[in-house]
Structure 1
Amino acid sequence: MAVKVVRYSHAGEPHWGVVHDRRIAPLLCDGASTADFVTNGLEAAWRSTPGEATLALDGVTLLPPVTPDRQFLCQGINYASHVRESGMDPDKIGFNTLFTKAPSCLAAADADVLRPGHVHLLDYEIELGLVVRKPLTGALRVGPEQLHEFLAGVTIVNDISARDVQLPQAQFYKGKSYRSFGPVGPFLVLLNAEEWARWPELRMRLHVNGQPRQDTYCGDMIFKPHQTLTELSALHDLQPGDLIATGTPAGCAARAPGKLATWVFRHVLSERTKWQLFIKKGRSNPAYLQPGDIMTASIRTDDGAIELGEQRNRVVSA
């Protein structure tokens, strides 16, 4: 049975605990780093019982279950539905797009998202987050049935993106790394081998002000978790607690222009003029986030057996 782990602040100190219904069973492991919990606290979390739950979940301050000393790795254009809405063919995506976000952008599942004053095209991206279980310090081949060996659990990620920085400047890191642009949690959900096999059944939903924007199953992923772990292990080291955000489905505010507009952009307009028009048109798009908007994001299987909780984040002016 999946275990919901929470990182929280109580009496001014960070702690780890297991959630049973709406109460927390504290764990006696160091609360400083996700690496510490994954290395030293997993077995205790699996053994936790409801009788040990002594704290009300509503009486603590949520913290992101991934700490800023960990890597924040991301996949782009990794959902067929999102590829289509971006004006591309999923069958022609020949490589896994990988990038990073600054770990300092990590935020709690109920934290405000700060929109910088120069950003007008603020977008959302619900994603399934994978948390690494053990060091990967050399190239290896991970099979789909081995996820439980290399991953500790899953969590919700909202990859907030300043499109008027990311796209005109071709800077994913810069457009996605402002402080508060990475709400994560509320839980790190530990899965056993059988539950890991159900990751394609996880359904991602995101609403803005109660309006549905994204609603897709994780099975729409192009490059699967085992493939991404295999590729990353050949590229650089991964350590316990590192976070991999696996891409977002269709429904973002950003949309690809039509075929005629795309042709004009490529063959007639200068780069400067093209992006000026892109930003001008985007500012009239009501789907982009505005101060005061409330995002809610959830991931669960339809039968509720695996449930990652819900994020609720308000957009405010920085």
Structure 2
Amino acid sequence: MKLLTLLLFYLPFFIVQANTDNRIKIAIIGKTKNDSFYQQSYQGCQAFSQKHPKVQCIYDGPQDYQDPRSQALVVEDLIHQGIDGLLISVTDSNHLAQAVLERAYLAKIPIFTFDSDLLPQHQFYRQAYVGTNNQDFGIALGNYAKELLESTPGNQGLPLQVCIHSGHQTTPNLNDRIKGVRLALSQGKSANRLKDNGNWVELDRCPLYSLGKRELAIRQLEFMLQQKQRVINIAVAGFAQFSPDYLSRISSYKEKISTKEAIIISADTEQIQLKALEKGLSTINIGQRPYEMGRLGTELLYQYLVYGQKPAKELYYLDFHYCTGENYASCTENQPAG
């Protein structure tokens, strides 16, 4: 009887000790695993774990391109492995919610989103979003095009042809950025397709969707650069510029880019993109903070998992920065290098 009493007395202590000794497994899931943007987010998680050794960062995602089914399967596998928290950039909110998020929710695995949030009808599954205000980001991309071209002599009264380059048609953050671009170019009148909005007109075949496939994205850009009339190319993520072949394949269009016969305005400022700016193969890049998305998202998950502390806000918006051919060497200095 005494032995049983002792066991019952010490059992909670042993349970606490066992839980304390376990690693806190936090999974960082991007839209594509081979993307340096999401790799930086993973590095942000690792930086947090260096100060909190019990945190174990797990990095995964679809290998090569944006595929909703593959992303859901990756999450499902991680749930089976016994992760404690999930930080995910959403490719397809409907598919992810239906396929796996309910299971994670019922298993009491806290979910935070970064870079790309869930749609409003699914946001009860997640605690908070960490990343760029994507509509504002799209507005910034569109505003740069407007300022660049409307201030150039000879453009007044001429139709300015725009082609937006995107990834997957269902991706929430990319669609918000497209809305932002259209709002900027229509003077805030409409987030619908640009048609009869002053001088700005979207080409019939655009937006171009590459699913994040680099070869397809670079072929789409090449096709637009070959047009006789000037096309303002606005990429709402890196896409073509993430290709290792970008510099060699776009170099033949350098003169068109330098004279603004062709315009390339792109999201993100990864190292390969800064190299493109240095070589005069991009007009401007507007960058985000993927490292901080991963670091802050991990911190919020840690606070929730260890202390039961819910996030103070639902939306943690991070700032963005502008990189050109003039400041490419210093424009990201204030951003963590990862």
TM-score band by shorter chain is: under 0.3
Instruction: Tell me which structure has the larger Cα radius of gyration.
Output: 2
State TM-score, norm by structure 1: 0.26
Larger RCO (alpha carbons 8 Å, 6+ apart): 1
* Higher fraction of helix: 2
